[in-house]
Amino acid sequence: MQRIIVAVAIVAGLVAAPAAVAGTTYTDTRVAAEAGTVNSIGRWQIQDTAKAQQDGAAISMSGFVTKDWYPVTGRATVMAGLLENEVFKFDVFHGDNLRAVQVPDASGNLFVTPWWYRAGFVLPKAAGTRRTLLRTHGIIAAADAWVNGQKVADRADLAGAYPEHDIDITRWVHAGANAVALKVYPGDPRMSLSIGWVDWNPTPPDNNMGPWRGVDIVQTGPVALSAPHVAPTLSADLAQATLAVTVTATNLDMVAHDVTVAGIVADMPVRQAVRLAPGEVKVVPLASGSAPAVTLDHPKVWWPIGMGEHPLYRMAVTATVDGAPSDRATTSFGVRRVESTLTRQGYRQFIVNGQPLLIRGGGWAPDMFLRDDPARMEAEFRYVVNLGINTIRSEGKLENDRFYDLADRNGILVLPGWECCDKWEAAAKTGGEPWTDADMRTAQASMASEARLLRNHPSVIGFFIGSDHAPPPALAKMYTDTLHAEGWSLPIISAAVDEKTAEAGPSGMKMAGPYDWIPPSYWYADKLGAAFGFDSEVSAGAVIPRLEDVQRMLSAQEQEALWKYPEARQYHASADWSTFAVLTPFDTALAKRYGAPTGLADYVAKAQLDNYDGVRAQFEAFNARMGAENPATGVIYWMLNNAWPSLHWHLYDYYLNPAGAYYGAKKANEPVHIQYSYDSRSIVAVNHTREERHGLQASVKVRNLDGGVRYEKQVQHIDLAGNRAQAVLGLPSIAGLSPVYFVELELVGADGKTVSRNVYWLSTREDKLDWPKSNWYLTPVTQYGDFTALASLPKATREVHASTVREGDEEVTTVRLSIPASSPAVAMQEHLAIRRGAKGELALPVTWSDNDLTLWPGESVLLTARYPAQGTAGTVVEVSGWNTPAEQIVAKVTQGTKH
């Protein structure tokens, strides 16, 4: 189906929850006159059927009065629409306020009855052969549809979060004012193929009811085009690509038509003539001249981030009937080759353009109310790029075209698939509820629609047809047959667990935990979720945001419980009271390793150290074993982000405020990197690029808590192959170490410039794991490392100089952070933030070149921060650290503006 989406922004701010737009007026969608245009319904009016009790025939008439209905944006779920209209006079993300939404007033629960979505649209004066289509992109959970008083589709036709449908409404519309009404039915993700949330965060009160991907009014001629597809075959030497090009043509008329489809693909002309019988649907192959396919010599090859550029080509074709344009179809695509093999141990290895690579990614979560915010999504992709990871996994909650376009442009690989723990996997579980024939039809339509959406995007490298369980045989066959019927050429993965299907074979994945706190050394073991094979989802659980975000999301009582009572349940850890509702393993480790918290600020500060250290170790362990005997081939950190403010599983929090976990991941995922191995005490150099690096130098210093150097070594003339890790030095046994000591690493290029700098704080008392008592989410600890001596560090001193310049739509602040030689101690985990405006609000989103740094007396670094320009005067750099007081420095504004 042709995919042309008009973006509609919901929110003004990027940092807060999408803001309400109370009082926004409703306007009809004006439809363009030309054939081949797609006009997204920009605004709806919505109301509960318990209050608007007329039938669809009346509500879908253009003169219907919608007094007291809510105007909402075109992709709003019911809950998103109510938030947009400020129906709830409190922050639903603060404390446990969300509970109050379940039954907000005496009228009872708002979300157990269907809701009406109504929109007007204005058609131009009709040309003689023009057709009008109503195009839906998935509705949760299902809907009846009316146009101008006529029911045009039933809930059985419009069911499921993902199927796309074109409904020919030509006979019921006319020039001028028209109206469409959807009666959207509530759903339970345990009973319908919609979207569920499990233990990620609370279930939305409305179960995401609504046309969440939008609805379009399409103008076409007698022959409509859809599903443009370019399937590239790239030669092994990358010197030539053959493009198989197709588009689907549908004759909407009651008479046969001769159709000519012509246009360009990668600037090459393509053309095909075809005759369509009445109502016929045909996949039309497009040829270039006399050749059956388009051939590109020396194509611009699309590479994942860090391995090369990400060029995109364009396809644009027009169907002509009787000399007049009837419809258009466009798409972008990239030229690349994706392969997937199994290692000797049975783990999946991805190979892009002939180059094996380590998949390093995170699990994606949209806003829990599925609010559509293009600016926020772009900001999140900037974070992914800044983090240095190369992959996003989507377990359900599959996004629209914009998400994949951003992935394409930024070189971010995507591994989408169906979700766990609800209707999508009910039939796969022992004793689970079998699917009905209607479920099978919805699932097949979902798979076909997603295949058409994903197949042209070079960022997409496979599809998980199962998550925590492989689908049973009938479903597995249906999924794979449907994917192949849609021209799918990428790997089909049976599940995110170590299971297989007859059609897709072994998954090559493991999902053995952990999901809760474990020490950094865990990742260097040879069991369970440690760094070998392909971990489809894994992390050490709790991730604590920075202090002001904790205060923003938790009530006063919850804040006190967070640092005082490790056994207390936290709504923002798990609202469904699951295993993860308490942070006991994390809190116990924090107190044992760093000392019992003395207050909320102390708890948060210690959590930043722990999160930085633990997340860095997870990614670094997989780095170290890229080419090992039992190699690491992929790791998906669980998770990349959050659907709401959370105390668990994220690299950046819902407010887009990077904290310790973010900067630990960013450090570990540097393109060329130096790191310490907890198992062997070796120093490892890592190269995630394709280019060999020659003449590198490594510098290693081991320091006591007082800064005294107990060991120092330089390694010269290091040559490092692309996509490889290499041990460059083994640390010897060192006498006279303080209970907490530091390892400072630096990797310098042949040009003398620092490539990577990395600092560890280590304990002479090691963490010990009780492996036999492991379960699916945790390996217990019998002995904790002792870092309590860090509390005795003297206060360090620092010097900060900052300047800011405008560069286009961004401001760029440059900071020189120095620890003078006279400082009494190391400055540990120096964190920088940008504040501006009269209220000193954080500038977010922000991408720093580096952050959360540890520096010794006499050391200095130059850092840069990029963030959206807002025209507010007075940029302030705020610096705080483990053993330094917080201070603010006004950045000097440099002359001139760069563009």
The two structure tokens encoding residue 433: 């509820």
CA distances from residue 816 to 60, 319, 657, 753, 893 in whole angstroms, order as listed: 63, 59, 22, 17, 15
Q: Which residue has the tokens 């394709």?
A: 690
Please state, in angstroms and rounded to a whole number, the distance separating the CA atoms of residues 123 and 117.
Answer: 19
Tokens of 683: 């120093």
HEC states along 405-440? Answer: HHHHHHCCEEEEECCCCCHHHHCCCCCCCCCCHHHH
Assign 288 to helix, strand or coil: strand
399 is an active site residue: no
Q: Under a CB-based contact definition with an 8 Å cutoff, are residues 159 and 85 in contact? A: no
Backbone angles phi, psi at 445, to 5 degrees: -65, -35
Known active-site residue 537: yes
Q: Residue 141 phi/psi, 5° resolution?
A: -95, -30
Q: Which residues contact 643 (CB under 8 A, 6 or more apart)?
A: 197, 200, 201, 365, 366, 367, 368, 654
User: Which is it for the CA torsion 688, 690, 691, 695, positive or negative?
Assistant: positive
The span from the CA of 189 to the CA of 203, in Å, is: 10
Q: Exactly one of 419, 439, 499, 537 is catalytic; which is it?
A: 537
Tokens of 713: 């070594």
Closest to 814 (Cα-Cα) out of 848, 864, 849: 864
User: CA 427 to CA 398: how far, in whole Å?
Assistant: 21
Strand order in the sheet with 313-321: 268-276, 257-265, 313-321, 324-333
- As a dihedral over the C-alpha atoms of residue 554, residue 557, residue 561, residue 563, rounded to 10 degrees, the angle is 70
Nearest to 396 by CA among 304, 486, 543, 496: 496
- Contact between 141 and 156 under an 8 Å Cβ cutoff? The reply is no
Nearest Cα to Cα of residue 779 among 509, 468, 519? 519
Rounded Cα distance, 182 and 167, in Å: 13
DSSP states along 146-189:
EETTEEEEEEEEEEESS--EEEE-GGG--SEEEEEEEEEEP--T
* Tally of residues, the chain: 899
146 CB neighbour count, 10 Å cutoff: 25
Please tell me whether residue 9 adopts helix, strand or coil conformation: coil
Find the catalytic residue in 144, 372, 468, 535.
468
Q: Which two tokens stand for residue 475?
A: 């479903």
Instruction: For residues 107 and 548, give the distance between their C-alpha atoms in angstroms, rounded to a whole number.
Output: 37
How many helices and strands in the chain, by DSSP H and E? 12, 50
Question: Are the beta carbons of 635 and 616 closer than 8 angstroms?
Answer: no
Q: Is 488 helix (H, G, I), strand (E, B) or coil?
A: coil
What lies within 8 Å, CB to CB, of 351 at 6+ separation is 338, 339, 340, 341, 357
Q: For the purposes of burial, counting CB atoms within 10 Å of the CB of 810, is it exposed (0-12), middle (13-18) or buried (19 or more)?
A: middle
Residues with Cβ within 8 Å of residue 408, at least 6 apart in sequence: 302, 310, 312, 332, 334, 457, 458, 459
> First CA to last CA across the chain, in angstroms?
39
Q: Which positions are catalytic?
A: 468, 537
